Amino acid sequence: MGRFLKIFGAICTFIVAVLTSIVVVVIVKGNALDKESKGFANMVVRAVATNWDEQALMSRASPEFLAATSRDQVHQFFGRVRELGPMNDCKDLRGQASFSLTSWSGERVTATYVGDCIFQRGVARISLSLIRHRGNWQIAGFNVTPMNPHPAMPAMLDKGARRSVLNG
């Protein structure tokens, strides 16, 4: 009986050590992914929304985004959001990265962020979803929701209420 308890104790100790190691790795990796993805998200919002640059969005778009969204949809989207005017300021984005590991798809790293931005003709909330491929962050979705539109924006509100969405 004593031998069984020693073996059982050793196995339990091993399992606890492995689980503790996994938790530490997840926390360290999660913090690094949060920092990395947040920097990319802030850069994307400034690059795209400062002057509503379609190419800034498309050059950072993921294969998933490109497969689900046509150039015409992107062009129409930018036609609507340009009515907000140039971005004057954007608060620091809120959000986080997450990752999953499955036996059939491997590692999948994604992130979602949201922030309120002030434009020349109103305030809007920008939400974006990101995905990481081969160590590089890319845009999986980009959403602009006018919060306090300027009266000079009636065309945008008439075309589909207060929401303009690309994927995500």
Task: State the CATH number of the domain containing residue 123.
Answer: 3.10.450
What is the count of structural domains for the chain? Answer: 1
Q: Are 126 and 114 in contact (CB under 8 A)?
A: yes
Strand ranges (DSSP E) for 48-135?
87-90, 94-102, 106-119, 122-133
pLDDT-above-90 percentage for the chain: 55
Band of pLDDT at residue 88, cut at 50, 70 and 90: very high
Strand partners for 124: 117, 146
Q: Which residues contact 64 (CB under 8 A, 6 or more apart)?
A: 131, 140, 167
Q: How far apart are CA 138 and CA 59, in angstroms?
A: 9
Which range is most confident: 2-11, 46-55, 152-161?
46-55
pLDDT recorded at residue 140: 95
pLDDT of residue 20: 66
* pLDDT exceeds cutoff 60 at 150: no
* DSSP state letter for 150: -
Mean pLDDT of 117-142: 94
Token pair, residue 160, equals: 């589909």
Of the candidates 153, 152, 127, which has an alpha carbon nearest to the alpha carbon of residue 140?
A: 127
What is the domain extent for residue 146?
2-167
